[in-house]
Amino acid sequence: MPISFEVRDTDLMGRLGLLRVGGLSVETPCLVPVVHPVVHDIPLSKYREMGFGAVMTNSFIAYRRRKEEALEKGLHNILGFDGVIMTDSGGYQVLRYGKLDITPMMIGEFQSAIGSDLAVTLDQPTGYSLSREYATETMKVSLNGARETIEKLRGSRTTWVGPIQGGLFPDIVARSSKSLLAAGFEMLALGSPVELMDNYRFAELVKMIVAAKKSIPFSMPLHLFGAGHPLTLPLSVALGCDTFDSASYILFAKQGRYMTERGTLVLEQMTYLPCSCPVCNATSKNDLILMDSSERMKRLALHNLYILRQDVLRCREAISEGRLWDLVEERATAHPRGWSAFEEMARNSELLVAGTRFMKERGLMVRSPLDEGRPELGLVRVHLAPLMKRRGRRAILVRVGAEKPLRTVASYQEASRKQKEDVADVYKLHPFLGPYPAELELVYPFSQTVTDHEAGQEDVRRAVTHLRAMGYETVLVVGDVGSGVRSRRRSRSRGPSPSARVP
Ligand SMILES: [Zn+2]
């Protein structure tokens, strides 16, 4: 069955998309809650009502426990869900319990026969293994199963999803991704992040996603297994993952854990329920503690689902507004390991440029040294370089924020005329981009950079060196020179006042 993925908007590597499979469609980024094929603590109609367009279930468990019924009625009917159903193949069971007495073709044919819309071929997850040999072996086993399944079942209505393995070894992840692409898969799923998440190794998660993304086309949809952790959802979206399955909402609920956007809390240790979802509006922390344990678990699971749903919507809005970087950074402050992951993402700024718009409607926030590596600034640097051309013999460098836009150019040139000097090329000084032609002042993001960093003496010195290297005979620096340190002091507005002349 054909799959289509329409990318409607992008920011960093993240995208707003519409994924169409099996005659159904779902908006992305999309959280795909994991539901048990037999036991439903929350009725499936509730997921639909909450806005989840897709769910994931385990075809291996369905094969073991509901095989005949599933074959007779079909997966959508036995689950009572008319949205997209994605099926996992049993790889997770392999990770937990070792080898299964099932082959990729057996589970592949079953997934197809019960009407799975998106089916992952049987894989052997690498997990958290530090052994290169084991990572290579699991990647090869998963790849062989994937190739066999797609070759023999390509014509079925099910869309096959290729499982990327390789775990902590980026080169093996890359090889896995490229091989699956060559085998004809049109959607891939990145395996093994669950143990990384459980151990808060978020920076490794970033490396793994980056390795996969560098090996596949930008437009290809990518699923991330087991990634429903509020600390990493915006990060994974920013790195270009489109769908995420997670059982975290129910697993945390079983442990009495209450999700917030900045991590989980133990219900018993809480005083309030800091949320306004329908569950939290209708009950109090004490009510929850006193109620029957299975009812408490269901309510906690529902609350957790609302939190995840809200987080996905927040990611979509951030892409739409072009401020996904800010959302990732804000979330990274919730945990030191989150910050390490953000640093790792920032190191891959060149990759993030792919989906970053050149013009944005909102100001560009630069509040930390890492923000100076934002892809928006990288994009501007590339476009600015060819515009830095000398037209005259003299340059005037105006400190950033010293004057109102445009008027600056005219007034400084008038000052030159009064001094009976040649009209000079006027540059302004951006605290992070350095000198730029003053005519660009209204172009994003020169005057739309929001920061409390003032260009200081060192910035001016570097800018003058730059302009002299362009061949200017004299460089006149005008306006106040800032302290060069972060400060909340507002800049004073001043008229043209040549303050330093560099011969
Ligand atoms: Zn709530």
Say what the pLDDT of residue 200 is: 80
- Owner of token pair 């009812």: 295
Range of the structural domain that residue 456 is part of: 383-502
Residue 448: name the closest of 488, 487, 411, 405 by CA: 405
% of residues, the chain, pLDDT over 70? 89
State in Å: Cα 306 to ligand 1 middle.
7
State in Å: Cα 307 to ligand 1 middle.
7
- Give residue 463's pLDDT band: very low, low, confident or very high (50, 70, 90): very high
Select which of 11, 88, 123, 326 is catalytic: 88
CATH of the domain at 35: 3.20.20.105
192 pLDDT more than 80: no
State in Å: Cα 39 to ligand 1 middle.
23
User: Of 44-58, 90-104, 178-192, which gets the smallest average pLDDT?
Assistant: 90-104
467 shares a domain with 327: no
User: Of 18-22, 201-205, 265-269, 496-500, which gets the smallest average pLDDT?
Assistant: 496-500
244 shares a domain with 150: yes
Instruction: Compute the average pLDDT of residues 321-340.
Output: 94
- Give residue 321's pLDDT band: very low, low, confident or very high (50, 70, 90): very high
State in Å: Cα 275 to ligand 1 middle.
4
β pairing state of 263-266 and 159-164:
unpaired
State in Å: Cα 252 to ligand 1 middle.
14
State in Å: Cα 229 to ligand 1 middle.
16
344 shares a domain with 200: yes
430 shares a domain with 339: no
Say what the pLDDT of residue 333 is: 92
| Residue 287 belongs to some domain of the structure | no
pTM, full prediction? 0.89
Encode pLDDT of 260-297 as tens digits: 999 899 999 999 999 999 999 999 999 999 999 999 99
- Give residue 361's pLDDT band: very low, low, confident or very high (50, 70, 90): confident
Q: When comparing pLDDT for 71 and 414, which is higher?
A: 71
The total of structural domains in the chain comes to 2
211 pLDDT more than 60: yes
- Give residue 471's pLDDT band: very low, low, confident or very high (50, 70, 90): very high
User: Of 209-213, 402-406, 412-416, 486-490, which gets the smallest average pLDDT?
Assistant: 486-490
Encode pLDDT of 154-176 as tens digits: 888 999 999 999 999 999 999 99
Q: When comparing pLDDT for 421 and 207, which is higher?
A: 207
State in Å: Cα 299 to ligand 1 middle.
9
State in Å: Cα 50 to ligand 1 middle.
13
- Give residue 302's pLDDT band: very low, low, confident or very high (50, 70, 90): very high
Alpha-carbon span 372 to 304, nearest angstrom: 35
| Residue 336 belongs to some domain of the structure | yes
340 shares a domain with 486: no
503 pLDDT more than 60: no
**Structural element, H or E, at residue 304:** helix 293-321
Alpha-carbon span 371 to 373, nearest angstrom: 5
Say what the pLDDT of residue 442 is: 86
Say what the pLDDT of residue 403 is: 52
Q: Is 52 left (phi over 0), alpha (psi -120 to 50) or beta?
A: beta
80 pLDDT more than 90: yes
Q: Which stretches of 114-223 are DSSP H helices?
A: 132-153, 170-182, 193-198, 202-213
- Give residue 400's pLDDT band: very low, low, confident or very high (50, 70, 90): low
| Residue 453 belongs to some domain of the structure | yes
Encode pLDDT of 380-398 as tens digits: 999 999 999 998 899 989 8
Give the domain-ending residue among 290, 325, 348: 348
Residue 203 · residue 341 · CB < 8 Å: yes
| Residue 133 belongs to some domain of the structure | yes
Instruction: Give me the chain's average pLDDT, please.
Output: 88
403 shares a domain with 332: no
Q: What is the DSSP string of 220-280?
A: S-EEETT---TTTHHHHHHTT--EEEE-HHHHHHHTTEEEETTEEEEGGG-SS----SHHH
146 shares a domain with 16: yes
Q: Catalytic: 480?
A: no
Alpha-carbon span 200 to 129, nearest angstrom: 15
Say what the pLDDT of residue 240 is: 97
225 shares a domain with 155: yes
187 shares a domain with 116: yes
| Residue 220 belongs to some domain of the structure | yes
Alpha-carbon distances of 15 from 112, 191, 214, 357, rounded to whole Å: 29, 20, 16, 12
Say what the pLDDT of residue 494 is: 34
What 3-state class would DSSP assign to 421? coil
Encode pLDDT of 6-16 as tens digits: 999 999 999 99
